[in-house]
Structure 1
């Protein structure tokens, strides 16, 4: 046995050496990049008098001595009627004269912003501009010849690449963590204009706003969010691509605000059943559920039921791909859209507008009803007020029973506006269209639910 172990020992050493050689070495990267990474602390002054929560909870008098404040689990208000909220985050220097990028949520509502440099200097920072939609903020400190990060190209970043984060999780300055790119182009709830980079790099509170480096020591993203059930790291973190961030930063520096492209459509995912109902051979693209009146999309001739497959030459696989592309187009410029309409491919040009808020729609129960036993749905006419708010006709779903409507996911309160390519303006249209539907197949049905338009597949029975 001893002889066998002696023979195997060199092999084990060789394998260990090979494994070590295949792993990246981050030492030089960290030494070169760390000087341009900063710690950001903020202070917010909040008005809070003793006449509020503390008197009610503890029965304290107005002139409670300062020493007794330390016996309570919360920060007590100051005698001036104010208390301070503090927060910590990270950032990085992008210009020698002191411009710094970080997350908007790091500095939001701050009355004071202090940047601590790698050499332990602390400088007060001025907010140049912030963009809540992309969660980015641009700061400026008064200093010269500051170290800066090298910027990479997030568009060429590939899934599986090694990446490194430097930041201040829980206030531990210049902590270094590493991992790989798990996915690109991720969409998160309420984050329509950022195609996030997903990584398994350990990111925790305090890392927000810090840089994400590739192995060449170039910034490819800004660490922004984590997915967690515990409040700590769970192996799923998200970074804003640096190409998106620098576009925002340039606009903030130049104008103090960000202008985004606007197309003016409400879109939804193309499911397998919807793809079949539209006659597509695969589930891909962005299905136009609604075209906003007087929008660039309407002026260009886009219609409900169109399926956008490419935007400016870029393939649209998921509906969430489209807002990312549109948002990055400069308003006033022309964009090319490839789409499928009624089974035929079409190409149109559209002049992109400036993103603006749109109104939400509402519905109430109107008189006039029709109970469709074959579909398993009770529908009613819309009144004049509802038609004005919708900008079109339709029928209101009052109740759904067992049948095709329930299987399709139709819900009370939905407004049916189109079935199988035929507009539904009133009950007469609804009756006529469902009577002529083809048997035993899925057909697209357009509805408005809680103010948003979407298509669902309606399976017509035999």
Structure 2
């Protein structure tokens, strides 16, 4: 029985081998067709592996902002400022062993001097070397050094500052400077994607991405004139003075401050809009300073509570709490208790709006002020004066307020 089985198996194998020999001799294309079919199954897998790297951030990926970053990054510079300062008294100076190894006082009997360093960013806005940055980045500096993205470094000269918007204009003299294109705020909307470019924590040039969370933010107590772009693009210390750009790499704002309880980004950052920055830049380059209109009043917001307390029919506007004697408002007849409703036809909703509207009027020109006095409407012509410079703030101690949080 077993012998018959093996005989049958051997005969079957012999027949199959003979059949394969005949096919390979007479019809070899049959066997080639089977091989091609096997290769066709494998080819789509190889093709997918070649395409896959481009899906997750390739050069032409639709969700990549590489082109915008590469366009704007060369024009964003690192700003290093320094000033001389005295070290605070060290309590260890009372230890004789400490004084032996680390010294006591210099020959003049004064504390050892140590320069205080400040770090921020800036944006080159013209081929002839004008740079926009924050005033607090270079405030009180004895020396300002600019480091370009291509590795070049040079010293910068301060052309002018505007503390009331926290902007400063610097100038460097170097050939072949990259510049940034200024964007347009009238085409900017909440929800637009933006990139923040700067030098956070001194780690080197960095790009972060987010969206515009709000426009026209004010009443923050950061600057006198506030009209901030709010963004959730991560902004950290060292980003101050850097660029906020759109998806085309155009400048939308100068990063200025963040809301933070820890010193790091919490997703609420503020940038000065390019419209304000352009106006300050042109004024400083032309005249060396920023000239704004002024009428000499101390305004206060009209709140519903104030309106109810004084029986006012007007629920918004700016109430005059005080008038500077001999100032433009005093000469025009404006009195404490007046509620300013509009200036040259522009509605006044609060004190911030009043400051911004008056500031934009050229000194020496007349402005028509519509106000309410004892529930009666009144129009007065005011000769706009020149806004005096803000009082100089006392210098901060070394190491404090290095970056205004942003």
The normalised TM-score by structure 1 is 0.64
Runs (4 or more) in structure 1 with deviation over 6 Å come to none
Q: Which residue of 2 aligns with 1:390?
A: none
Question: 2:284, 2:101 → 1: CA distance?
Answer: 46
Q: Which residue of 2 aligns with 1:118?
A: 149
1:164-196 alpha-carbon deviations (Å, 9 max, x no partner): 211111113221122233331413326222322
Question: 1:158, 1:311 → 2: CA distance?
Answer: 27
Q: Which runs of 5+ in 1 are unaligned?
A: 1-16, 18-22, 67-78, 360-462
Question: 2:257, 2:188 → 1: CA distance?
Answer: 19
Q: Which residue of 2 aligns with 1:295?
A: 327
Preserved contact between residue 194 and residue 244 of structure 1 (Cα < 8 Å): no
Question: 1:242, 1:347 → 2: CA distance?
Answer: 34
Match for residue 303 of structure 2 among 256, 263, 271 = 271
User: What SS does the aligned partner of 1:294 have?
Assistant: coil
Q: 1:298 Cα deviation (Å)?
A: 1.5
User: What SS does the aligned partner of 2:219 have?
Assistant: strand
Question: 1:280, 1:216 → 2: CA distance?
Answer: 49
User: What SS does the aligned partner of 1:188 have?
Assistant: coil
Question: 1:59, 1:327 → 2: CA distance?
Answer: 60
Question: 1:158, 1:278 → 2: CA distance?
Answer: 39
1:30-59 alpha-carbon deviations (Å, 9 max, x no partner): 11111111111122222459xx42663544
Higher helix proportion (structure 1 or 2): 2
Distance 1:329 1:215, change over 3 A: farther
Name whichever of 224-233 and 147-156 sits farther off: 147-156
The total of aligned residue pairs comes to 327
Preserved contact between residue 97 and residue 145 of structure 1 (Cα < 8 Å): no
User: What SS does the aligned partner of 2:227 have?
Assistant: strand
Residue 160 in structure 1 maps to residue 199 in structure 2:
no
Question: 2:308, 2:87 → 1: CA distance?
Answer: 60
Alpha-carbon RMSD across the aligned residues, in angstroms, is: 3.1
Q: Which runs of 5+ in 2 are unaligned?
A: 1-54, 56-61, 104-109, 392-406
User: What SS does the aligned partner of 1:268 have?
Assistant: strand
Higher strand proportion (structure 1 or 2): 1
The normalised TM-score by structure 2 is 0.72
Match for residue 166 of structure 2 among 135, 146, 152 = 135
Q: Which residue of 2 aligns with 1:240?
A: 272
Q: 1:141 Cα deviation (Å)?
A: 1.0
Q: Which residue of 2 aligns with 1:103?
A: 134
Q: Which residue of 1 aligns with 2:402?
A: none
Preserved contact between residue 80 and residue 118 of structure 2 (Cα < 8 Å): yes
Residue 43 in structure 1 maps to residue 79 in structure 2:
no
Distance 1:164 1:340, change over 3 A: farther
Preserved contact between residue 225 and residue 352 of structure 2 (Cα < 8 Å): no
Q: Which residue of 2 aligns with 1:29?
A: 68
| Higher RCO, Cα 8 Å, sep 6+ | 2
Preserved contact between residue 135 and residue 167 of structure 2 (Cα < 8 Å): yes
Q: Which residue of 1 aligns with 2:344?
A: 312
Q: Which has the larger radius of gyration?
A: 2
